[in-house]
């Protein structure tokens, strides 16, 4: 994932407001407890809400921490995963290979869930990934601008599986623009 990724470590994530401090604590607790909870019902992390609040960075902090402990992780932007699956929908062998990459990774980080693509076809592909991981109890790290409720409104089967797996490790940024780190000092 390049140089930008290696800077994304907990020490560089500033607790610049109350929500940032709480989200960082949730992500750190997830990384610390990962070995104990990996195969449990609540083995996944959700970082939701406010644009620019640091959701992607915190997810990458967790990945870096897990990688340093030799735990295999896979990162994908939601849109890229959807594109890969849709592009290969007509080629069963290629489709199953790509789907398997997403379903079988030890940890899968899906960044910006539901951003842009959420047609019924998109949801059918996504369901295979989420249900495959849900069934096998494989951990997910999920970021989205949406709340858990909004995820469930879009697709209850997908949203409720995510809600269950993320029930111990979820943080939703609820502030408005003042919580956007990209705009700090500008508004």
DSSP three-state, residue 16: coil
13 near ligand ATP, rule: CB under 6 A: yes
Stretch that binds ligand ATP, among 8-16, 36-44, 99-107, 161-169 (CB under 6 A): 8-16
Residue 51 makes contact with ligand ATP by CB under 6 A: yes
Should residue 18 be labelled a site residue for ligand ATP when binding is judged by CB under 6 A?
no
Q: Which is nearer to Mg ion, 2 or 70 (CB)?
A: 2
Cα distance between residue 150 and residue 148, in whole Å: 5
- Number of residues interacting with ligand ATP: please give it, by CB under 6 A: 17
**How far are the Cα atoms of 16, 35, 59, 101, 176 from residue 42, in angstroms, in the given order?**
28, 12, 17, 22, 29
Q: Which of residues 117-176 bind ligand ATP (CB under 6 A)?
A: 143, 145
Q: Which residue has the CB atom at the shortest distance from Mg ion?
A: 56
Q: How far is CA 7 from CA 64, 123, 154, in A?
A: 9, 33, 34
User: What x-and-dash track marks residues 63-102 binding ligand ATP by CB under 6 A?
Assistant: ----------------------------------------
- Selection from 181, 140, 166 nearest residue 50 by Cα: 181
CA 29, 31, 36, 40 torsion-angle sign: positive
Task: Name the site residues for ligand ATP (rule: CB under 6 A).
Answer: 12-14, 16, 20, 51-57, 112, 143, 145, 181-182
């Amino acid at each position: 994932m390049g140089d930008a990724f290696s800077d994304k470590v907990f020490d560089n994530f500033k607790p610049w407001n109350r929500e940032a401090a709480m989200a960082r604590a949730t992500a750190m607790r997830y990384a610390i407890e990962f070995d104990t909870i990996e195969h449990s019902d609540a083995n996944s992390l959700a970082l939701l809400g406010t644009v620019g609040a640091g959701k992607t960075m915190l997810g990458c902090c967790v990945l870096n921490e897990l990688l340093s402990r030799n735990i295999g992780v896979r990162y994908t932007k939601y849109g890229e995963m959807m594109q890969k699956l849709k592009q290969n929908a007509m080629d069963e062998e290629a489709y199953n290979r790509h789907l398997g990459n997403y379903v079988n990774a030890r940890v899968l980080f899906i960044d910006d869930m539901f951003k842009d693509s959420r047609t019924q076809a998109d949801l059918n592909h996504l369901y295979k990934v989420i249900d495959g991981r849900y069934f096998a109890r494989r951990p997910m790290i999920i970021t989205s601008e949406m709340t858990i409720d909004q995820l469930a409104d879009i697709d209850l089967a997908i949203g409720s599986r995510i809600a269950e797996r993320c029930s111990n490790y979820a943080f939703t940024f609820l502030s408005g623009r003042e919580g956007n780190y990209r705009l700090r000092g500008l508004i």
